[in-house]
Structure 1
Amino acid sequence: MSAQGTVNDQATPIRVLARRSGEPWTDDEYSTVVTALAAGSSVEQIAEELQRTPGAVRGALRLLTPPGLSLRGAAAENWLREQLNGTPTYDWRASRRAHSNGTYWTPAADAILVEGWRRSTPLGELAATVGATELHTHRRLVQLRLSHSVLDTVDRLGCTPGGDLEARYLVARDEYRSAVWVLTIDGLVDQYGTVSDHISVHSSRGAAAMALERLTATHRSTAAARRLSLPPSRWRLVGRGLDTAAYGLGHPDTTGQIPARPAQEANLTGVGAPSRDRT
């Protein structure tokens, strides 16, 4: 074996162990830690399996013990080993959730949120079912890409009057109503066949949507009449409030393309025109 090969063999495990360093921990990983620890695996072995550092695994062990015990390092490891061996049904997820102030989400809880969103289950009921606050539940709905904003969540599921989420909703609603809407289009064709980028500011989402429809019609008819061969034009619609907060980012109806095809062949549903204004 060459000297270079020996160096590589020694260095590779270190790279593998730290490869997932800094990435968020998943429920499956915590479950692997618990199973491996109960089977007698060392912290180093668990770290190698998960491609984490031993320090990261020890940090995870602390989160799997009740926060009231304030256990760290070897103390957390030893306590958890004893608990798992003596009480196989130990609820480590409850400890993990307690450390995160109710923001730890399991696949089962996520499935409940997905189904609750589909059925438009009241937010208070949904939050109680998964054991979280309405605010934490809303944030998870956004992380799961079910909701795009507090406006989406409350308009669909409601919220408890006087709660933290309602306060955020009222602020966001007022900002939304006072927002100006910026429409940008890359590669727009005007009536003279000139291709340029477009930007305009509108007082409402509805006005911006009407401008997009008008510009789209001109773009397509001109491209067809002049037999222009162009790539699809991209448009974006963003609302800006007085505090520079952005509304609508991430919504399917705030970005789209204008296919450069003859008007009679174009599928208007593919344009993705913005939905009606919230008024």
Structure 2
Amino acid sequence: MTPQGTVNDQATPIRVLARRSGEPWTDEEYSTVVAALAAGSSVDQIAEELQRTTGAVRGALRLLTPPALALRGAAAENWLREQLTSTPAYDWRASRRAHSNGTYWTPAADSILIEAWRRSTPLGELAATVGATELHTHRRLVQLRLSHSVLDTVDRLGCTPGGDLEARYLVARDEYRSAVWVLTIEGLVDQYGTVSDHISVHSSRGAAAMALERLTATHRSTAAARRLSLPPARWRLVGRGLDTAAYGLGHPDTAGEIPGVRARPAEEEASLAGDRASV
């Protein structure tokens, strides 16, 4: 009899999740599923190869069949096997895209987006080329780290007047205008030689940048005048609006550091002063 509070390993096997459980599926993985299925591999074999659960693979098979057929489980698997045998050129990507309402992106489509961003191709034209909505196209541009926000996208590529993306753009633009900018500096030296942390709030990014420049100059001049040895002072500039959810990725935080300072020994300073006097 199994003692109370213990687990009988044979009677109660522990379910171990596949290594890649929960991760987004890639176009390459779907291609692997299709190729393996066409070659006769079982769902269990495909799951092991991809380090996915069998349930996840069966879910992927459903997405590779036309939505209108409403196939699931074994029915989706069998239909897809027959289709791949009778029609090797079956466009499974079209089915996958149809299931996701235009949000499925292939490497080829990503390449088009990257080139279009470089050329500043109008967003309406770009969306039509990749077969997606302007909103979905914008979101993919952000995922590819080409755009930081709807402001970046519309300012560079434009958008269709009256569309969903324009509405988001107007909200983000108003949010940007109402934002405040917070400047923080760790290890700043003031004019009296006191080392402390600085924080200030500014009405615009430009005003915050000017304050950073001014404080940096004071930091360096004071350190030099008082012959202070200092580690780098780290700064960060953050924009915050009334609605941070709308603000989102619009204006990413920026950060940097003021280089450290090494104080010259008094003898070295005296030697340099003598050299300057003799010139």
TMscore range, shorter length = 0.7 to 0.9
Q: CA deviation at 1:87?
A: 0.4
Q: Which runs of 5+ in 2 are unaligned?
A: none
Greater mean alpha carbon deviation, residues 62-71 or residues 249-258: 249-258
1:31-86: CA deviation from partner (whole Å, max 9, x where unpaired)? 00000000000000001110111111001101111111111110000000000011
Bigger shift: 53-62 or 195-204? 195-204
| C-alpha RMSD of the superposition | 8.1
Q: Distance in 2 between matches of 1:60 and 1:131?
A: 21
Query: Could you report, residue by residue, the CA deviation over 1:123-179 in whole angstroms, capped at 9, with x for unpaired residues?
Result: 111111111110001001101111001111101111111110001101111111111
Moved more, 229-238 or 44-53: 229-238
1:267 pairs with 2:271: yes
How far apart, CA to CA, are the structure 1 residues paired with 2:228 and 2:118?
43
Cα distance in 2 for partners of 1:227, 1:235 equals: 22
User: Secondary structure of 2:22's match?
Assistant: coil
**Equivalent residue for 1:226?**
226
**Kept after mapping to 2: 8 A contact 1:220/1:261:** no
How does the TM-score come out when normalised to structure 2?
Answer: 0.84
Distance 1:58 1:68, change over 3 A: same
Rg comparison, structure with higher value: 2
> Per-residue deviation at 1:269?
30
User: 3-state DSSP class of the match of 2:257?
Assistant: strand
Return the alpha-carbon distance in structure 1 between the equivalents of residues 5 and 273 of structure 2: 59
- Does the CA contact (< 8 Å) of 2:149 and 2:250 recur in 1? no
Change (3 A) 1:53 1:219: same
Q: C-alpha displacement at 1:10, in angstroms?
A: 12
Is the CA contact 2:175–2:246 (under 8 Å) kept in the aligned structure 1? no
Structure 1's 233 and 2: CA in aligned 2 closer, same or farther, altered over 3 A? farther
Q: Which moved more, 1:112-121 or 1:255-264?
A: 255-264
CA shift for structure 1 position 188: 1.7
Change (3 A) 1:196 1:277: farther
Segment of structure 1 superposing worse, 247-256 or 233-242: 247-256
Alpha-carbon distance between aligned partners in 1 of 2:276 and 2:24, rounded to the nearest angstrom: 38
1:9 Cα deviation (Å)? 15
Residue 201 of structure 1 deviates from its aligned partner by 0.8
SS of 1:242 mapped into structure 2 = coil
Deviation at 1:29, TM superposition (A): 0.3
Deviates more, 1:183-192 or 1:236-245: 236-245
- Greater shift, 5-14 or 151-160, is seen at 5-14
Name the count of aligned residue pairs.
275
Q: CA deviation at 1:243?
A: 2.3
